Amino acid sequence: MFTLRDAWREGRAALAQSGVETPQLDSEIIIRYLTCKGREEFYRDLGEPFPAELLARFYQLLRQRGRGVPVAYLVGEKEFFGFSFKVTPAVLIPRPETEILVETALELWQQGDLPVSPRILDIGTGSGAIAISLALKIQNAEVVATDVKAEALAVARQNALRLGAKKTFFRHGDLWQALETAESDSGPRSFDLVVSNPPYIPKGELMRLTPELQQEPREALDGGEDGLDFYRRISAGLGQVLQHGGWVLLEVGQGQAPAVRELLAQAGLTVFPPVCDLSGVERVVKARQQEL
Ligand code: SAM
Ligand code: GLN
């Protein structure tokens, strides 16, 4: 009998052979996806037969994964901040380090540094991971999420619906222009908090990315020559939309924090000590507009 355990083992060996970094986990995720099992059920049922009618599909998914398609695209979802987000190749797969940005925002709210019902803008929302997690965690928040890519915004809208996020508004367009569109008559126009995980990979490095990263949308990664294009454009426009005393939280790539701090300081904001991730990288730059 060919059991789930046999399939798991076979998948792991095939993926390891193709150079996949996490073959055991990815083999498990693919099998759980095909058999509709949660983690506990999967471990409980390892001795059960692997359904014969799923074998062809199993091998097909293993081949795709082996060619570098991220497992989240194969199974169509990714967990972020405890919520399951639908993902397609139109959106960046939300990263664990981005949860630090969400946590930092929640702390500001919990400490009373934001109004009880804050107005929040998420620039370049992708799957909606940041915007929707904040909308779900902060009751009465009004959240505007923008993206230049219509297909990404469509995914974010579906995530808001399926996760039950209220008072979340989606705007299509390039950075600040997204706030000028006709739809802008609903939802706030100025904000207590602006958050963004913009594209920040320097153009020259895009060619050297792993096969998995190469499958993600180029416009989600390309931060221009030095990777800082979006930080320049975001800092330049903040004055138009940020309330007095309003906050900005920007995710940055490794080594970019000093330059981004400088840009925000030049824009007249007060810059706070950086927030680091667990590998010691300065991951989130935090700044505040002067109070009146
Ligand atoms: N916020 C999501 C997350 O953290 O998982 C996605 C971040 S991804 C690094 C950057 C996002 O910015 C992409 O969804 C991309 O389509 C969007 N984007 C790229 N250029 C943009 C622009 N000019 N204006 C608005 N959004 C843009
Ligand atoms: N965090 C992505 C990485 O894997 C980059 C995303 C971005 O450009 N914001 O490097």
Question: Is residue 184 predicted with pLDDT exceeding 70?
Answer: no
Q: Given this model, what pLDDT does residue 262 score? A: 98
| 197 CB within 6 A, ligand 1 | yes
User: Which ligand gives the minimal distance to the CA of 156?
Assistant: 1
Q: How close is the Cα of 55 to the center of ligand 2, in Å?
A: 34
Which is the closest atom of ligand 2 to the Cα of 213? Answer: 4
Q: Is 71 helix (H, G, I), strand (E, B) or coil?
A: helix
Give yes or no for residue 183 having a pLDDT over 70.
no
pLDDT at res. 109: 98
Binned at pLDDT 50, 70 and 90, residue 187 comes out as confident
Report helix, strand or coil for 193: strand
In angstroms, what is the span from residue 91 Cα to ligand 1's centroid?
8
Helix (H) or strand (E) holding 251: strand 242-251
Mutate to test the pocket of ligand 2, among 149, 205, 221, 284 (most ligand atoms within 8 A of CB): 221
Say which DSSP state 18 is in: T
Residue 292 has a pLDDT of 75
> pLDDT tens digit string along 233-257?
999 999 999 999 999 999 999 999 9
Average per-residue pLDDT for the chain: 96
Listed residue (233, 213, 221) closest to 197, CA to CA: 221
Residue 189: pLDDT band with limits 50, 70, 90: confident
Determine the distance separating the centroid of ligand 1 and the alpha carbon of 148, expressed in angstroms: 7
Tell me which of 26 and 290 has the higher pLDDT: 26
| Residue 206, beta-bridge partner list | none
Helix or strand run (H / E) with residue 28:
helix 23-35
Ligand 2 pocket, CB under 6 A: 95, 197, 199-201, 213, 221
**Model confidence at 226: pLDDT above 90:** yes
Residue 65 Cα to ligand 1 midpoint, Å, equals 24
Give the span between the Cα atoms of 107 and 245, in whole angstroms. 16
Q: Using CA atoms, how far apart are residues 82 and 70, in angstroms rounded to an integer?
A: 20
Say whether pLDDT at 171 is over 70. Answer: yes
Please identify, by atom number, the ligand 2 atom nearest to the C-alpha of residue 221: 8
**What CA–CA distance (Å, rounded) separates 21 from 211?**
11
Please compute the mean of the pLDDT values over residues 162-169 and round it to a whole number: 96
Q: Phi, psi (5° rounding) for residue 3?
A: -95, 175
**Distance (Å, whole) CA 271 – CA 62:** 47
Does residue 83 register a pLDDT over 60? yes
Question: What's the average model confidence in pLDDT over 36-42?
Answer: 96
Predicted confidence (pLDDT) at residue 291 exceeds the cutoff of 90: no
pLDDT band at 181 (very low <50, low <70, confident <90, very high): confident
Q: What is the DSSP letter of 3?
A: B
Pick the atom of ligand 1 nearest to 126's CA. Answer: 14
